[in-house]
Amino acid sequence: MEISNFMRDEHRRCDDAFAKAEQAVNRGDFTEALKYFEEFMIDTLKHFDKEEEILFPAFEEVTGNTEGPTRVMRYEHNQARGLFEELKKAIDQSDKARFFSVADTLMILLQQHNMKEEQMLYAMCDRVLAPQAHQLVERMRTH
Amino acid sequence: MFSQGLSLDQAPPFSVILRFFLTIPLFMFLVSLAIFGMDLHGLAYWDSPKMVAIVHLLLLGVVGMAMVGALFQMLPVLAGASMKEPLFHARWIHLVMFIGTLLLTMAFYFEKFELLHPAMALLLGSLSFIVVLMLFKLLSIDNKTPSVIGMIISLNGLGFGLLFAVLVTLTFMGVDVGFLPSDLRTIHMHFMLFGWITVLIMAVAFQVIEMFYVTPSYPYIIRKWFPLILLTLLVVQFPFYIISESMVHIFDMLIGMVLFTFAVVTLRRLSQRKRPVADTTVWLWRTGLFALMVAVVLVAVMTVVDHPLLLDSAALLFGYFIISIVFAMSYKIVPFLVWFHLNAKGVLECPMMGDIIPSQYTQWHLWLHWLLLVSLFGALLFPLLWKVTALIFLMESLLYGRNLFGATKIYYTLKDKGML
């Protein structure tokens, strides 16, 4: 469960930062929104990097499976990266309607992505990477 | 161990789900026409053939289509169980359900009871196939999440509902199966409404309330046990229709308590959401859940005060609850899937969810939907208002159809302009 717990906590931290950005846009405070959005974006991109550079390769090495779940997760990371740019543009232009339209899309994409990871992929990682779980989590923590 | 799980191929083709959802406004339209065409006095009797026709048109044509479409989407995406040839199965199941629902409705509405046999054959054939196919897939999953368990239980509820549909039909044909015809009808209705539809709504809610609105998870005990408790209560209850009427009422109360708790807990989740904007779908969930709570309270009051208006109001509110959730779900799922599939095809100028179904249109729909609630209660007191209710529902069907077909048009206009 060590991998699941660590990764799930990271998801929740990203959600909190994004919720603060949405609340700021809702108030019309785009300066504050930019601050929280950048915090969310940096944390999320770091989280993606940890998965793509540490966790997924370890999973693929043990299972010999590079075309399965990790491929889908990488694909969805790229979909999210594209939406970050759209969201940044909406904040720069102080366009509230556009922001929430993109935010809705991004949130559903990320939440369904997180659920698939938490309910399936991380559970698989906990099982197959149990002997090296502690070491992997430490590497991700200091990444 | 890894035969289940995630793959890009697991997202079923968009047209699989779309065909079910696009049929909903058509059946809503037919429901309003059917109410328009009815003698106002006939609307006061749930067992009159025309009312039976309208109830089935609504529950099979509107709600059933949404539920089967949702199952096709949930099976691979939320449960991680892929289905071979989903498009082929979706096509024939949709067509057969569509024709079966129309024939069943015509059999009752126009009292052409010879149509009942082909209608039953088509509906039993398609729905039983769904039960067997999807149960087979779901039971083979290793990691059964609460939503997967909820889907399994809901399919069992549908199976029981179909079994009792057969028994009701046999009684209708003069065969004595040991139950009173009115009791059999109630048991059939309970399995369909609570055992199938409500359990499936619960299974969906456990995933999507958290996903769409970023809320805390449901308490584990609710996610794990509520669907099973609900179906178990229904299964244990039905023999008591022969043995003890008072026990049947006790079970009704217990079922009401489960439904009420689910509504309260879901409303609480929605109030705890991290996302600040309460869009149309949040209000549709709230409205529907509030209707469910009031329906349960009215049934509870019936144990003290026996007035036919209480049962009529509770039944209408329960139907209103289900339809509100169908709208709430489809207004998130359809635009997201349009974006998701266009993005997957590499469309550069991919519209966002807010561009696919503009929020002002869903807002208008919400207001119409609230107006419908007012007119439903007005019609209970002044039957002439049923015509107004039918008109409002007709307008809802047109606006809902405009929103869903608008989203579909965007998808089909852009889908071949992708780079992938």
In three-state form (DSSP H/G/I as H, E/B as E, the rest C), the secondary structure along chain B is: CCCCCCCHHHCCCHHHHHHHHHHHHHHHHHHHHHHHCCCHHHHHCCCCHHHHHHHHHHHHHHHHHHHHHHHHHHHHHCCCCCCCCHHHHHHHHHHHHHHHHHHHHHHHHCCCHHHHHHHHHHHHHHHHHHHHHHHHHHHCCCCCCHHHHHHHHHHHHHHHHHHHHHHHHHHHCCCCCCCCHHHHHHHHHHHHHHHHHHHHHHHHHHHHHHHHHCCCCCCHHHHHHHHHHHHHHHHHHCCHHHHCHHHHHHHHHHHHHHHHHHHHHHHHHHHCCCCCCCCHHHHHHHHHHHHHHHHHHHHHHHCCCCCHHHHHHHHHHHHHHHHHHHHHHHHHHHHHHHHHHHHHCCCCCCCCHHHHCCHHHHHHHHHHHHHHHHHHHHHHHCHHHHHHHHHHHHHHHHHHHHHHHHHHHHHHHHHHHCCC
Contact flag A69-B77 (C-beta cutoff 8 Å): no
Q: Residue B1 — very low, low, confident or very high, per pLDDT cuts 50/70/90?
A: very low
Question: Higher pLDDT residue, B288 or B80?
Answer: B288
Q: Provide the percentage of residues in chain B whose pLDDT is more than 70.
A: 97
> What's the rounded Cα separation, in Å, for the pair B339 and B321?
28
- Model pLDDT for residues A14-23, shown as the tens digit of each residue: 888 898 999 9
pLDDT at B27 over 70: yes
Interface test with A, best of B1, B6, B8, B147 (most A CBs within 10 A): B6
pLDDT at A31 over 60: yes
pLDDT at B377 over 70: yes
Q: Does A100 touch chain B (CB under 8 A)?
A: yes
Looking at chain A, which residue has its C-alpha nearest residue B208? Answer: A112
Q: Provide the percentage of residues in chain B whose pLDDT is more than 90.
A: 71
Contact flag B353-A105 (C-beta cutoff 8 Å): yes
| Distance of residue B143 Cα from the nearest chain A Cα, in angstroms | 8
Q: Does B210 touch chain A (CB under 8 A)?
A: yes
Tokens representing A128 are: 């197959």
Q: Residue A12 — very low, low, confident or very high, per pLDDT cuts 50/70/90?
A: confident
Q: What is the pLDDT of residue B9?
A: 54
- Model pLDDT for residues B35-51, shown as the tens digit of each residue: 998 887 777 788 889 99
Q: Which of residues 147-206 of B touch A (CB under 8 A)?
A: none
User: ipTM of this predicted complex?
Assistant: 0.84
Looking at chain B, which residue has its C-alpha nearest residue A64? Answer: B2
Q: What is the pLDDT of residue A1?
A: 75
Q: Is the dihedral of CA B297, B303, B309, B315 positive or negative?
A: positive
The whole-number average pLDDT for the span B199-221 is 90
Q: Provide the percentage of residues in chain A whose pLDDT is more than 90.
A: 57
- For chain B, the average pLDDT equals 91
- Model pLDDT for residues A51-105, shown as the tens digit of each residue: 999 999 999 999 888 777 898 899 899 999 989 999 999 999 999 989 998 998 9
The whole-number average pLDDT for the span B82-107 is 93
Pick A107's closest partner by Cβ from B5, B10, B214.
B214
Q: What is the pLDDT of residue B81?
A: 74
Question: Higher pLDDT residue, B265 or B347?
Answer: B265
Tell me the C-alpha to C-alpha distance, in Å, between residue A92 and each of A50, A69, A87, B348: 28, 35, 9, 21
Question: Higher pLDDT residue, B36 or A115?
Answer: B36
SS3 A113: helix
pLDDT at A34 over 50: yes
Q: What is the pLDDT of residue B207?
A: 85
The whole-number average pLDDT for the span B363-381 is 95
Interface test with B, best of A84, A108, A125, A129 (most B CBs within 10 A): A108
Q: What is the pLDDT of residue B420?
A: 67
Question: What top-level class would CATH report for the domain A2-141?
Answer: mainly alpha
pLDDT at B176 over 50: yes
pLDDT at B234 over 70: yes
Pick B214's closest partner by Cβ from A15, A67, A75.
A15
Q: Where are the domains of chain B?
A: 277-412
| Distance of residue B277 Cα from the nearest chain A Cα, in angstroms | 7
Q: Which of residues 54-83 of A touch B (CB under 8 A)?
A: 63, 65, 67-69, 71-73, 75, 79, 82
pLDDT at A42 over 80: yes
